[in-house]
Chain A
């Protein structure tokens, strides 16, 4: 995951933390709720126990009072209606009974004091008063009627007290029930809210997570895209640098090769000197090869683009590729029928394929499979390869089952001189060249790789609607390169100027050398005998090659003209030479090349 994903990770942590706090809070509320319920119930249970104890005491008191009354009550006429005859009355020990009752009332008062319930206070007081009244009458041994009345009123007060307790307890139980009935829906509501909140939070988190993941994925794609652009820009900058260095180096090599060639052509050389010269030429040629590759990376200049079938090209290379990759690697080549055509220099495309194959071979030291597949690709904007502009492409996939590459290697892969191979084996220019060629052909190249699994190089070349070129052009035949025509060489580099002057001079030409465009114009003005050939460098201080030849052609309309340059195409593009339709000789070249071109151009002029 990228750094953005890590940031969102913190967001998730916060969300989960908040949900956790809510859950803990809710759990605390429920705990407090249940705890309060329990405390409430306990309190009610204690009060209920109080009612029960009080009721039991009152019950005993009433029994005592009834016993007391039994002995004193005078039968009313109505009672006689229920019983056949009066029962012999025995007078009980009133004092003993009254003592017991006083103790019971005392207990009741203690019990009331313990709970301090004002509800029963008045009635309890009444019991006390009426018991005292009964006791007073008993002490006086008053008449039975007054005693019976007092006992009846005491009994009434006891009944009042008893019933008050019974109803209070009933009411208590009923209020507990009511309280539960009220609280249960409340609890259910709280639980429902919690469940609802939980579900809502879960959905919200899922939605948020999905949104963040989408965002992360977009940002990652964007970052990858920016990385690619950065890589491209880096490679382009490197290309400019390398191109500049290679140009200057080429000029030096041209001089070295030229001078060495002249010396070799001179007959009076000792054998030792000849060998030394040949080694110089060999080394210079190797160096020249190196600069050619550098130039191919920076911007291949001498492209000879042709419309071709990439599948046919790849299939045509099968046996050569098999030789290159060796027997331990299995080669598989697939090409889609009805492939679109592409426009590219076939020689350079072969180099691309070859370099990729060599790279794959080196990635599979213990053998494996190299698969080259060519097919058509229709790219739209929203597809995986957002970097490939919308359009039709021919895609070549070069896949190996080798050691693969890590992320860093993949990022630096196309840089010149970047190599993971042993020093003796790789120059670090193979894939840089591939990149240069593909980019010059307006194509794209990508790599996908996983260490231990293998790598896939994907080359996408724009499809061309032009008709197929039937055959490859033959290299122009080397004609006689000697001549006696007058040649004007305009070159600011003194070594090259000298090399060309000497070389063409040896071949019989009459060479006039000019160190600048201004000097060249002067020669053209003065040389009335006529100049046959004008060879000019393109980029020079002061007037450049294009401007010079433009004027020179006016002064010497019969002369054939040609450019020579060590610069890359994009620099030359701005130099104005395209407007003149003049052949360009790419540095470094040997004297035979320039002489051959001179002869070819002269022959062309003569036949016109």
Chain B
């Protein structure tokens, strides 16, 4: 009976200790990590206006913490070296599985992200099936929009790319995929729709050269995620600062432009259900979470 009582008391105390410990490690300085998809210099240029904005808008000091690659970013987050990070869909799923990362906000475009299957502008074919026997390219292997999600949705449609196409390739980036399609190296390719729009807007591609054959269903992609132990008031403060970014205000418009966003929306775990499932299918995370 004593043992049971001890277990009971311990469980009660343990139940209380969770919330008690939260208050202690409230960070005065918040360390921010981002996806190292550009050089550190460019990353600083891109993110420092946001850092300044957040510091002005909140009571927090923000420290920008660069990382050399995706694995280091994940490790820094897992080790608690950074408090908030901008993850891609797959890296978020991995950070969530490894250290319980919790989604905070996403760009408006990220909540209903799509990948675009592109063909040459003069290609008359109307469906993916018609490209059977042709060469096909994904984006990089660990790209959420260029590989993970397109393959996931293909699988849901019962398509195995390796069986359907004569060759399945992986480009080093979305721009390369677009170029391979434009130049006829492959008949069909799949790219990040936002990047495709940017390529067109930047006139690296002209609308006539490339045609969007079909887009994938929507899925959640990039996300600002925080440590699970971050206190609720800090979290709310950060979230509200992101959500308040207004494109009509010139300085804020510049920040949003740099980040490729029209504005920010609250992010939830359910936004990443598909990504989580896709990552689990490819064995990139242990097991898809229940939610």
Q: Which of B228-286 contact A (CB under 8 A)?
A: 236, 240, 243-244, 246-248, 262-270
Known: A122-B243, A152-B262, A160-B266. A200 touches B1 (CB 8 A): yes
Q: Which residues of A contact B22 (CB under 8 A)?
A: none
* Chain B: CB-nearest residue to A166: B268
Query: What is the bound-complex CA distance between A82 and B1, given in angstroms?
Result: 72
Residues of A within 8 Å of B244, CB to CB, are 122, 126
Kindly state whether residue A192 has any CB partner on chain B within 8 Å.
Answer: yes
Q: CB of A123 within 8 A of chain B?
A: yes
Which parts of A100-147 form the interface with B (CB within 8 Å)?
119, 122-123, 126
- A473 contacts partner chain B, Cβ-Cβ < 8 Å: no
CB distance from A236 to the nearest CB of B (A): 58
Return the chain A residue nearest B14 by Cβ: A182
Cβ of B80 within 8 Å of any chain A Cβ, yes or no, is: no
In the complex, B45 has a CB within 8 A of chain A: no
Enumerate chain B residues within 8 angstroms of A28, measured Cβ to Cβ.
none
Asked if A163 and B207 make an inter-chain contact with CB atoms under 8 angstroms apart, the answer reads no
Closest to A119 in B: B236
Contact with B along A299-310 (1 / 0, CB 8 A): 000000000000
Alpha-carbon gap, A249 to B70, bound state (A): 130
> Is B212 close to A, CB under 8 A?
yes
Interface flag for B197 (CB, 8 Å) = yes
B7 on interface, CB distance cutoff 8 Å: yes
Known A-B contacts A119-B236, A185-B11, A193-B1; the reply to A153 vs B248 at CB < 8 A is yes
Interface residues of B in 130-177 (CB under 8 A from A): none
The answer to whether A189 touches B268 (Cβ under 8 A) is no
Find out whether the CB atom of B248 lies under 8 angstroms from the CB atom of A150.
yes
Q: Are A159 and B265 within 8 A (Cβ)?
A: yes
Partner of A197, one of B1, B108, B247, B262: B1
Per the CB 8 Å criterion, the residue count for chain B at the interface is 32
Cα A182 to Cα B16 with chains together (Å): 12
Question: Closest residue to A130 on the B side, CB-wise?
Answer: B246
Minimum CB–CB distance from B103 to chain A (whole Å) comes to 9
> In the complex, which residue of chain B has the Cβ closest to the Cβ of A123?
B243
Chain A residues, CB < 8 A from B265: 156, 159-160, 163
- A156, A189, A197: the one contacting B263 at CB < 8 Å is A156
Q: Cβ of A153 and Cβ of B291 under 8 Å apart?
A: no
Nearest CB of B to A557, in Å: 94
Residues from chain B with a CB closer than 8 A to the CB of A182 are 15
Cα separation A123 to B236 with both chains bound (whole Å): 11
Min Cβ gap A103→B in Å is: 24
- For residue B5, CB closer than 8 A to chain A, the reply is yes
- Closest Cβ of chain B: how far from A75's Cβ, in Å? 14
Specify the chain B residue showing the minimal Cβ separation from A118: B236
A319 to B190, alpha carbons, bound, how many Å?
130
Instruction: Pick the most buried of B8, B212, B264, B266: most chain A CB atoms within 10 A of its CB.
Output: B266
If A156-B262, A159-B265, A185-B11 touch, whether A193 touches B4 (CB-CB below 8 Å) is yes
Shortest beta-carbon distance, A183 to chain B, in Å?
A: 9
Complex alpha-carbon distance, A150 and B263, angstroms: 12
A197 to B236, CA, bound (A): 47
Q: A77-B200, A167-B266, A186-B11 are in contact. Are A153 and B4 (CB under 8 A)?
A: no
Q: Are B200 and A153 touching (Cβ within 8 A)?
A: no
Contact A81 B212 (CB under 8 A): yes
Pick from B4, B108, B240: contact of A122, CB under 8 Å: B240
Q: Are A196 and B270 in contact (CB under 8 A)?
A: no
A78 interface residue (CB < 8 Å to B): yes
> Is the pair A189, B266 in contact by a Cβ cutoff of 8 Å?
no
Residue of B nearest to A196 (CB): B1
Indicate whether A78 sits within 8 Å of B200 (C-beta atoms), given known contacts A156-B262, A159-B265: yes
* Minimum Cβ distance to chain B for residue A322 (Å): 72
One digit per residue, 1 when the CB lies within 8 angstroms of any chain A CB and 0 when it does not, for chain B 172-196 equals: 0000000000000000000000000
Nearest opposing residue in chain B for A126, CB measure: B244
Distance in Å: Cβ of A5 to nearest Cβ of chain B: 31
Contact A126-B243, Cβ < 8 Å, known A77-B200, A153-B263, A163-B266:
yes
Q: Which of A160, A185, A190, A196 has the most CB of B within 10 A?
A: A160
Residues of chain A within 8 A (CB-CB) of B212 are 81-82
**Cα separation A82 to B215 with both chains bound (whole Å):** 11
Give Cα A200 to B2, complex, Å.
12
- Residues of A near B207 (CB, < 8 A) are 77, 81
A166 to B212, CA, bound (A): 32
| A92 vs B197: C-alpha distance when bound (angstroms) | 30
Q: Tell me the bound Cα distance from A186 to B11 in angstroms.
A: 8
B108 pairs with A156, CB closer than 8 A: yes
In the complex, are the beta carbons of A190 and B8 less than 8 A apart?
yes
Known: A78-B197, A149-B248, A196-B1. A164 touches B11 (CB 8 A): no
Answer yes or no: A409 CB below 8 A from chain B CBs.
no
> By the criterion CB–CB under 8 Å, are B8 and A189 in contact?
yes
Tell me whether A170 is interfacial, beta carbon within 8 Å. Answer: yes
Are the CB atoms of B11 and A159 closer together than 8 Å?
no
Q: Does A380 contact B (CB under 8 A)?
A: no
CB–CB B108/A159 < 8 A: yes
Asked if A174 is at the interface of the complex by the 8 Å CB criterion, the answer is: yes
Min Cβ gap B87→A in Å is 17
Cα–Cα distance between A393 and B99 once the two chains are bound (Å) = 91
Indicate which residue in B4, B262, B263, B269 contacts A192 across the interface (CB closer than 8 Å): B4
A164 and B240 contact, CB distance less than 8 A: no
Q: B248 near A189 (CB under 8 angstroms)?
A: no
- C-alpha spacing A182/B15, complex, angstroms: 8
Nearest chain B CB to A40 CB, angstrom units: 15
The answer on a CB contact under 8 Å between B243 and A170 is no
B5 in contact with A193 (CB, 8 Å): yes
Residues of A contacting B262 in the complex (Cβ-Cβ under 8 angstroms):
152, 156
Residue of B nearest to A171 (CB): B268
Closest to A80 in B: B207
Q: Which residue of A153, A167, A170, A196 is within 8 Å of B247 (Cβ)?
A: A153
Can you list, as one digit per residue, whether each of B1-21 has a CB less than 8 Å from chain A (1) or not (0)? 100110110011001000000
Report A-chain residues with C-beta under 8 Å of the C-beta of B269.
170
Chain A residues near B263 (CB-CB < 8 A)? 153, 156, 160
Asked if A164 meets B4 with Cβ closer than 8 Å, knowing A150-B248, A153-B246, A159-B108, the reply is no
User: Residues of A contacting B248 with CB < 8 Å?
Assistant: 149-150, 153
Residues facing A in B61-118 (CB within 8 A) are: 108, 111
CA distance A185 to B15 in the complex (A): 12
Q: How far is the CA of A82 from the CA of B15 in the complex (A)?
A: 54
A122-B243, A163-B265, A200-B1 known; A193-B108 Cβ under 8 A: no
Bound Cα distance A48, B263 (Å): 27
Asked whether, in the complex, the Cβ of B236 is within 8 Å of the Cβ of A189, the reply is: no
State how many angstroms separate the Cβ of B193 from the closest Cβ of chain A. 9
Residues A170-202 near B (CB distance < 8 A) = 170, 174, 182, 185-186, 189-190, 192-193, 196-197, 200
CB distance from A130 to the nearest CB of B (A): 8
A163 with B268: CB separation less than 8 A: yes
CA distance A537 to B247 in the complex (A): 147
Residues of chain A lying within 8 A (CB to CB) of residue B236: 119
Cα separation A56 to B232 with both chains bound (whole Å): 26
A590 to chain B, nearest CB (A): 88
Contacts of A193 in B (CB 8 A): 1, 4-5, 8
The 4 closest A-B pairs by CB, nearest first: A167-B268, A156-B263, A163-B266, A122-B240
Supply 30 A–B pairs (Cβ within 8 Å), ascending by A. Answer: A77-B200, A77-B201, A78-B201, A82-B212, A119-B236, A122-B244, A123-B240, A123-B243, A126-B243, A149-B248, A150-B248, A152-B247, A152-B262, A153-B248, A156-B265, A159-B111, A160-B243, A160-B266, A163-B268, A167-B266, A167-B267, A170-B268, A185-B11, A186-B11, A192-B4, A193-B1, A193-B8, A196-B4, A197-B1, A200-B1
Given A126-B243, A163-B267, 6 extra CB contacts under 8 A: A126-B244, A156-B263, A159-B108, A170-B291, A189-B11, A196-B1
Residues of A within 8 A of B (CB): 77-78, 81-82, 119, 122-123, 126, 149-150, 152-153, 156-157, 159-160, 163-164, 166-167, 170, 174, 182, 185-186, 189-190, 192-193, 196-197, 200
